[in-house]
């Protein structure tokens, strides 16, 4: 984040809070863009469409996110729900890319 963005503990106004949230949202979109880049790479690398959906890996990714949430003191159920949606969206994206590469 930019040096003029305050840490949450340092915010004194709603403008400070909103600036921090907006900056984090921009970073999140950038990170998600990179994450979906990895999904594109997976679609390119995987030779069998049946391997796109990997329930064991999905469970591992969600468990890792939940553990991190617990360590950081954020609501585990919220993170679990968010990651479930993120992973499912990632799988759908990977299927789309896999099919497009081979059509």
The conformation of residue 7, written as its DSSP 8-state character, comes to P
> Which residues fall in the annotated binding site?
18, 35, 46, 94
Alpha-carbon distance 1 to 14, whole Å? 18
User: Do 48 and 66 meet the contact criterion of CB atoms below 8 Å apart?
Assistant: no
> Which residues fall in the annotated binding site for substrate?
18, 35, 46, 94
Query: 87: buried, middle or exposed (CB in 10 Å: 19+, 13-18, 0-12)?
Result: middle
Q: Which residue has the tokens 């896999």?
A: 98
Alpha-carbon distance 101 to 25, whole Å? 31
């Amino acid at each position: 984040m930019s040096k003029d963005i305050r840490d949450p503990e340092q915010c004194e106004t709603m403008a400070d809070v909103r600036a921090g949230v907006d900056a984090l949202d921009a970073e999140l979109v950038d990170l998600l863009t990179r994450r979906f880049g990895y999904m594109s790479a997976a679609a390119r690398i995987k030779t069998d469409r049946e391997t796109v959906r990997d329930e064991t890996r999905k469970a591992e990714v969600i468990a890792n996110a939940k553990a991190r949430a617990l360590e950081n003191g954020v609501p585990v159920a919220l993170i679990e729900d968010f990651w479930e949606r993120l992973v499912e969206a990632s799988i759908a994206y990977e299927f789309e890319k896999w099919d497009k590469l081979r059509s």
